[in-house]
Structure 1
Amino acid sequence: MADTKGITLSCLCGAATHTFTIPTSSLPLPSHLCNCTTSRRISGSLLTSYINITHDTPTTTSKKPDLTFLTPYPSSDVLTRWFCSTCGTHMYLEYAADGHFEAATGTLKESEGVVKYESCMWIEDTRDGGASQFVTHIDGTELKRYSRESGVSKEVALEWMDDPETTENAVQKYGSSDGGKEEGKKIHATCHCGGVEFYISPPNAESKLAASPFSDLIIPYHRQLDITANIDNHPWWVVGDKRFLAGTCACHSCRRASGFDITFWGFIPTSNITLDATGELPFTRDERRYWGTMKSYRSSPNVTRTFCGKCGANVFWDGDERPSIVDVAVGLLDAESGARAQELLAWYPERVSFEEDALNKSLIKGLGDGLIEWGRTNKGKEYVATGISSMQM
């Protein structure tokens, strides 16, 4: 067996492609699923993860990656985050204390046997437990759960919430079916630097006037069924007239665009997105108007992805086939209930979108199993989407 192994990683557009040599004795490299507010705001994801690619070996040519095509963002005095200036992929953490670099796990060309996820950390930042409740086991091993930094802060239970009553009240007050819904109330969304911000209003009559084929989250594209066209335009993106559908994705392009293995999307009609709290500035695709630091990247012939040009936060997935709906990165939402924003979003627990394309099969299998169990545990609560049948399709 070779003493070293080459690890290659790349952004979505390929401008930043690097290979590092690490000792095989260090494999698999430990990683932790981070739930902290800063990570959510700079990524748009509810879970971020990194591996240490700085190692002392005779064949290592450089401890510092080529940063030519990357933009730095000092998110704190502790570290600087580096992302691709062209496509927005988060690539590295650079630590101020010792100068070591860590690479975002979603940028790797190879993950199985290279990365070992050991815990969920910084759960206390989520208020509602966040997506840590979606990933509880990987390869049959239970992940440890920490309130803050992994291994040094206190461990917390799976059902941990900062204040369960406050979270539950926020959800029920916002979306109650007894007429108590706070009509017109909007949820604020922002990246970490504040350069991109917008507001999302709850579902209304206009929400159902949008048009879209079915998402892979509901009906896998690889099955190639006619139903994916959604000829009758069933408004699958609205659940129970109270929430917008939200889900997870493991596709190659989403993973490499964000830099992380799992992306978390809310399916939101553009009619429910405004650039201001009063609703006077409607959604527009013209970046020059009101969008601040947002940049776009055409990731395929029919898809535009947007991100903050200052902090790199993933913002929208915008497909040409459904111009009246965009996917919004959930990590940007300032929801009263917590990171899962369940007053606005109903999470789909029966499938991970494009799970067949997952790079790290073990992680995504753990996510899929965890989502099913989470949906089973929460069955009966009005803000939980329980599958196609529950949406009366």
Structure 2
Amino acid sequence: MADIAPLRNLRAQCLCTRSSLTFAVPISSLPLRTHFCHCSICRHTHGTLCTIHAFISPPAFNPDTFTTYKSSIATRYFCSTCGAHMMDYGEGNWCLATSLVEGDDENLWKFTEHIFLDATGDGGVGGLLDEINGSKLDKWKERDESSGEWMPSPSSSQSTSSSTALQASCYCKGVQFSISRPTPNTHDPAPENLTPTDRNKWFAVFCFCTSCRLASGCAIMPWTFLTTDAITLLDGSPYRPVFGTAKLYESSRGIARTFCGTCGATLAYHTDERPGMVDIAVGLLETKNSLDRGWLEWRTHRLAKEEDAVWHGLKSSLKEGLRKLKD
């Protein structure tokens, strides 16, 4: 009788804890190859600038706690209560949101490549992450090496900086709105640490907090901080937290998160501590370049809640990439 390969059992769970899954991995297969996907579908179904996924064996889960959304070749599974994207199924393969796996063992994952970087214009997060834990990440224009290596172009630093309004939407278009460019006085209600030096832009950060990771399904959550009067809904009405297909989840006292109830995209973060302001998921923005530095001023000297990071190699590499962005 052939020897049975020893297995390691792993568990992933969302923010609200209502949705979870378990799966087994042969110990000999560890670390699992893990990729960063930058396609426009992932960005607009998650609200993030990328997803961090690995292929796994069929997981065990309760389908009653999930909502499914079919996009292109994959069916996406997200928590019906808090919106966390946990896995995709397509072409006979299960693809896991690795950021949701319990524990902080970065050695479970071998970060190997960025894919679909052509969809970002400027490279997005892929342009900031060249290596993790000393291992170089491949950068492909589309799905794999057959598409060719992605290289930044001179035009990738350009953006929609001359426009006066910026469109935003989730993938299914159940949530759509426009954002107006700030004026110098727009930022007066904002705390000093959320105010850009260029007051004609909106401030943006990458957040590593546990709640954002578990709500979005991605360890890197990009937010931009807007005043609510800068947002106009598709029907011309002023901003309100729940509109279109948006659903609201109160993650803690005084804090509400919204996501699309149809495609699962993370939409916004509201806190009672900042009335008149709302944090909008950057992955929703319909821009030529993912980082769109003509509209957004990214904080480059530190990440938000970086002390919560479970993958320290990823955190360190992103911080280094942001320092280069500043230069």
TM-score category (smaller protein)? over 0.9
Structure 2: stretches of 5+ with no match in the other structure: none
Q: For residue 246 of structure 2, what is the aligned residue in structure 1?
A: 294
- Closer, same or farther: CA 206–373 of 1 in aligned 2, 3 Å: closer
Q: In the TM superposition, what is the alpha-carbon distance from 1:120 to its structure 2 partner?
A: 1.1
**In structure 2, the residue corresponding to 1:295 is in which secondary structure?**
strand
In the alignment, the residues of structure 2 paired with residue 30 and residue 195 of structure 1 have an alpha-carbon distance, to the nearest angstrom, of: 34
Among 29, 36, 59, which residue is 2:32 paired with?
A: 29
CA shift, 1:40, in A, is 0.3
Residue of structure 1 in register with 2:271 after alignment:
319
Alignment-mate amino acid for residue 113 of structure 2: S
Q: What SS class does the counterpart of residue 204 from structure 1 fall into?
A: coil
2:12 corresponding residue in structure 1:
9
Aligned partners of 1:255 and 1:262 also within 8 Å: yes
Aligned to 2:280: 328
* 347-356 or 203-212: bigger deviation: 203-212
1:276 Cα deviation from its structure 2 partner:
3.4
Q: TM (normalized to structure 1)?
A: 0.78
Matching residue within 87, 90, 96 for 1:92: 87
| Residue 104 of structure 1: aligned partner | 97
Query: Deviations for 1:33-82, whole angstroms, at most 9, x for unmatched residues?
Result: 1111000000110010111221xxxxxxx655332200000011x11000
Q: Deviations over 1:157-197 (max 9, x none)?
A: 3xx13xx34852633xx2xxxxxxx5xx2100000000001
Give the letter aligned to residue 187 of structure 1. L
CA distance in 2, matches of 1:87, 1:143: 32
Residue 23 of structure 2 corresponds to which residue in structure 1? 20
Aligned equivalents of 1:298 and 1:73: distance in 2? 23
Answer yes or no: is the 8 Å Cα contact 1:11–1:256 preserved in 2: yes
Is 1:79 aligned with 2:67?
Answer: no
CA offset digits 1:335-375 (Å, max 9, x no partner)? 24x11122210111111111111111111111111111222
| Deviation, structure 1 residue 150 | 2.8
Contact kept, 8 Å, 1:213 with 1:322, in 2: the verdict is no
Of 119, 128, 131 in structure 1, the residue corresponding to residue 122 of structure 2 is: 128
SS, match of residue 145 in structure 2: coil
The one-letter amino acid paired with 2:101 is: L
- The alignment yields a C-alpha RMSD, in angstroms, of 1.8
Answer yes or no: is the 8 Å Cα contact 1:207–1:271 preserved in 2.
no
Matched, 1:202 2:205: no
Larger fraction in strand = 2
Report the counterpart of residue 224 of structure 1 in structure 2: none
**Secondary structure in 1 aligned to 2:67?**
strand
Question: How many pairs are equivalent?
Answer: 322
CA distance in 2, matches of 1:190, 1:355: 28
Query: Which residue identity does 2:274 align to in structure 1?
Result: R
Q: 1:67 aligns with which of 54, 63, 67?
A: 63
Letter in 2 for 1:283: Y
Runs of 4+ in 1 over 3 A off after TM superposition: 62-65, 164-167, 211-214
